[in-house]
Structure 1
Amino acid sequence: MNLNLRLSIVAMIGASLIGCASNAPTQAPAASPAAAQPAVKPLAGVTLSGIAGAGQQKFTVTVYDAQGNRKSVASDDKGAYSLSADGLVAPLMLVAEAGRTQFVSLIAEPAGKVTANINALTDFIASGAAKDAKFQGPVGMVQSGKAPAVKAEALKSRAASLQPLLGAALKEAGVADAASFDPVSGNAGEVLKYIRHNRGYLSSQGVLGETSLFDSNYHEITKLSPLSMAHARAEAQAIAAPGVTRIFIAGDSTASNYDVDVTPRNGWGQIFERQLKDAKQVQVVNVAQSGRSSRSFITEGWFDMIKADIRKGDYLLVQFGHNDEKCGEEPPRPAPARDVIDIANLCTYPGTAAGVPAEMGFQKTLEKYIAIAKEAGATPVLITPVTRRQFKDGKIGGTTHTWGKGKVPGDYSQTIRDTAKANKVALVDLDQKSMDFFNKLGEAESLNYYLAVDPAKYPYYATQTGSRTKPDNTHFQEKGAEAIGGLVAQGLKEAKLPIASQLK
């Protein structure tokens, strides 16, 4: 497949992934004359009102009904909105949008004056309903252009699924009826201040998936790691405190946070604070996300979160490459192989080859991270991707981040080095440092650092990659993550950055 044809595929797939339904109503297929038509009763005397988001910005609120009809209104700058649902047909789907941020809320049987909030928590409920309706997530449901056929009891059950995640926090925050809280009709109080939300990406299908909730420091809120208001308040205060230097980390699964159910798997960013002399003076904000490339990290909104929070004196550590480099086999495998799908969402091309559009050039994408840091008065640091555990004859012979199977072959680590030099920013050559480190340790000893654990001690890995007999040669157990964090700290010192004085 030539590059131009591939890019046309990108455009087609991208158009199907980004954005929501158009303003024109979606029409249902015409029923056959013999089909019995159920009675449709439009709503009358129904007014929807509530708060979009956390009550801190303006949103466009669109209400979709069961037949694809819709109405829109702009909220005020604190997210408050109100509109009549008269003439629409229940159930209803409410969508609040501001830039790349999108929240969804569902109402099965509206009557009279209805409180209908639209926020991260209602989006979590809508995500479950989307799964029930055979959508991959809220985005697909919105793109369908009409509300799914949901029942009030099903939505009540989905609201109850928030209890193991947030029940204790709601009670701590003094929320009325915390044990039976429904975010669509109830006021979550300050809880929303400490919650971030995003949708997962399904690389096998090229679509955004289910909603996940995160705390203010990007730890996912789960049954095993529920939100604690005391911890959330303290952590948010520490991160935002004047005079505190924050180290933001943008990266992939080798740096990201992991829940306790996959212990001892860790990303180096998850425990990078261990490299600090005083964790009160320097706060690590680990925004790294598994499976992301430098491009998808931007298109999925993580980049915008950093852009909104980063300030003068902060640092932005940028480490991508593992997912950027999946640019397709030649000849390409059939869809849904990543060769076709991920080019539209993940892939970047290394170097500065002619004909590569700016949005798919690795260097141009990295320069976007450099730009947001410099604009805020922060210090950007580019980091080459950590090596994979690919020993041959007892050695990792060279970088594991080259790509030669597509139309634009190249070296991703070298592109990072070149980008740092061209933009006069600091570089940590983690690829070379980690190769040297593991070559010194040796192939056998490296298993104690990469994710290669005894399933008798960690039963999760009895059926998952990451055991001694089936090691994960990309990711790390805690010991390895801490060692890689140490190599990053070493690189920051070698770059003679001011933050070096705060590192052990």
Structure 2
Amino acid sequence: MKHPSKSLLFASLLAIAGCASQPEAPVAAPAKAASAAVAANLAGSVVAGSNVQVFDANGAARSAKANAQGGYTLSADGLSAPLLLVATTPQGKQYLAYVASVKAGANVVNVNALTDRIASDVAQEARFKGPVGLAASARAPAVPAAKLQESVASLRKSLAPALKEIGLSAESFDPVTAAPSAGLTELLGVVTYNRGYNSASGERGETSLYDPYYREITPFAPFSLKQAQADLKEINAPDTVRVFVAGDSTGSNYDPEHAPRMGWGQVFDRQFKAGSKVRTVNLAQSGRSSRSFIEEGWFDMIAANIRKGDYLLVQFGHNDEKCGYEPPRPAPARDVIDIKGLCTYPGAPVAGMGADMSFQRTLEKYIAMAQKVGATPVLITPVTRRSFKGGSISGTTHTWGQGKFPGDYSQTIRDTAAANKVPLVDLDKKSMDFFNKIGESGSLDYYLAVDVAKYPFYVGKTGARDKPDNTHFQERGAEAVGGLVAEGLRENKLPVASLLK
């Protein structure tokens, strides 16, 4: 599988000289004097053709264009640390690096996915939602040294196995100052990154790093380079059938810290026979609608990798429904944010409505993307919420009646599948039938309603037994829902069904 956002090693070459300038208080950061400018060099390379910008503590900036070999020289006369480096590739990928201080003479500064992860923490410390906002501010904020060290330490722990494998120290590695090496380039070549979504503000959020199966790399799930390389070999084998999952939090992967919370896509591999040459590549992401999944680049990651013979399982609806009221209620109601970032309207397209606001039209983008390469798209209605009334779930929990275009999201998926002659798995109906048989009390063993003595992460949080999460699942529920999806694939008589248990 190709990695469209492979994190190639960047480093910048700057010549910094000149006298000190009067520092100003950085935007949205604790008041702290910036260090004076010094005569220094920061050396390295970037992706060929990238635009590199450097911003200092006072908002002064310099820029340069990388040459065909990925090298550049930038004069930053008079800039005062801290510095913020922003590298934008010809494909539009953006990477940040934060430099707390520079010394006179030679300095190494790398700009890559790992440094972007550190810059993400810097952004949040400076009260931005993520690196996008930090870059847009065009200023390097002052950040307490302890916070920066904490972020680097967390990254080291996340990468500890891989660092050991390439001969680097998990005690001293710093992605900003690390000398370029074949091992580090190899590591960066199998790490994918993306920026999240801040549901409270609608802005792009923090940076996360992912392995080849799009499982997040964290201190609770450390990254092994050897394992990642084996995974890529397995995924890319010509006789492997890949099942890509595009969806929301009901299907997504979860860090072990949140155990036993799981999405059905996270455990979907369990539905296939042992030894079968099929692999689930789960890109489902929490909080995404069919539209925001595209706008945030997840769709493009699938499009760059999917091939003939693969399957694309598409399950949205939970967040497409977030269409607010009309007219929008004032803040703190989320109407404006949700309509802008998540909402798609159910039903057939309406005259005067933007194409991207139509749930049907958005779903058809997924269908077209898969069919273009000879893959099989499968539309899946959203899994039911645990909404028992009078002892049963009496109907779909995926309608919205308050916005401009009220309607039934599950029915829109059914209609879109029929109109485009593609397979449909009616998970909404299947899951309602399943949980009605299990019963209201029994369903607590499937939805996220756990014993906090066993899972203390959920003390005082939604997901505890006395405060159940009626949308998401624990492991047993995720596996059961995955079984319902597998049942739907069988009913459609798809070739991949022969590989199911």
Q: TM-score range by the shorter chain?
A: 0.7 to 0.9
Taking the TM superposition and a 5 Å limit, the aligned residue runs for 1:52-201 are: 52=46, 58-76=49-67, 79-98=70-89, 99-110=91-102, 111-150=104-143, 155-175=148-168, 177-186=169-178, 187=180, 188-201=184-197
**How far 1:201 sits from its partner (Å)?**
1.5
How many angstroms apart in 2 are the aligned matches of 1:147 and 1:468? 45
Q: CA separation in 1, counterparts of 2:368 and 2:213? A: 23
Change (3 A) 1:326 1:191: same
1:272 equivalent in alignment to 2:268:
yes
Report the AA paired with residue 398 of structure 1.
G
| Structure 1 position 41, deviation (Å) | 5.8
CA contact (8 A) 1:359 1:365 kept: yes
Relative to structure 1, is the Cα distance of residues 403 and 93 closer, same or farther in structure 2, using a 3 angstrom cutoff? same
Q: How many residues align?
A: 465
Once the two structures are TM-superposed, the CA of residue 157 in structure 1 deviates from its matched residue by 4.9
Give the partner amino acid of 2:62: K
Gap regions ≥5 residues in structure 1: 1-27, 31-37
Matched, 1:445 2:446: no
Alignment of 1:24-423 (within 5 A): 44=39, 46-52=40-46, 58-76=49-67, 79-98=70-89, 99-110=91-102, 111-150=104-143, 155-175=148-168, 177-186=169-178, 187=180, 188-278=184-274, 281-351=277-347, 352-423=349-420
Distance 1:470 1:86, change over 3 A: same
Equivalent-residue separation in structure 2 for 1:302 and 1:224 (angstroms): 23
CA deviation string 1:222-280 (max 9, x = no partner): 11111122322221221122221111101111000112222211100000000111455
Q: Deviations over 1:369-406 (max 9, x none)?
A: 11221222211111110011111222211111010011
CA distance in 2 between counterparts of 1:385 and 1:160 reads 39
Classify the secondary structure of the residue corresponding to 1:421: helix
Q: Structure 2 length normalisation: TM-score?
A: 0.87
Distance 2:36 2:476 in 1: 63
Contact 2:34–2:57 at 8 Å: present in 1 too? no
Deviation at 1:363, TM superposition (A): 1.2
Q: Is the 8 A contact 1:50 1:82 kept in 2?
A: no
Alpha-carbon distance in 1 for matches of 2:133, 2:446: 40
Q: 1:255 to 1:112 in 2, by over 3 A?
A: same
How far has the Cα of 1:142 moved from its partner? 0.9
Aligned residue for 2:421?
A: 424
Shift, 1:75, TM fit = 3.0
Check the 8 A contact 1:50/1:118 in 2, yes or no: no
Q: Larger deviation: 426-435 or 275-284? A: 275-284
Change in 2 beyond 3 A, CA 1:452/1:291? same
Deviates more, 1:329-338 or 1:190-199: 329-338
Counterpart in the other structure of 1:498: 495
Partners of 2:173 and 2:371 in 1: how far apart?
Answer: 43
- Range moving further from structure 2, 308-317 or 381-390: 308-317
Residues 40 and 203 from structure 1, CA distance in 2 versus in 1: closer, same or farther, beyond 3 angstroms? closer
Identity among equivalent pairs (%): 62
Shift of residue 143 of structure 1?
A: 1.1
- Residue in 2 aligned with 1:11? none
In 2, Cα distance between the equivalents of 1:412 and 1:247?
24
Does the 8 Å CA contact 1:73/1:81 hold for their aligned counterparts?
Answer: yes
Contact 1:273–1:279, Cα closer than 8 Å, also in 2: no
- Work out the CA distance in 2 between the residues paired with 1:428 and 1:227: 34
Q: CA RMSD in A?
A: 2.4
**Mapped partners of 1:314, 1:326: distance in 2:** 31
Cα contact 2:24–2:58 (8 A) shared by 1:
no
Aligned mates of 1:312, 1:363 — CA distance in 2:
24
Letter in 2 for 1:185: T
Offset of 1:212 from its aligned partner?
1.8
Q: 1:422 to 1:58 in 2, by over 3 A?
A: farther
2-structure distance, mates of 1:324, 1:488:
20
1:434-483 deviation line (CA, Å, top 9, x unaligned): 11111222222222211122223322233111233221111111111111
Structure 2 residue runs of 5 or longer lacking an equivalent are: 1-22, 26-32
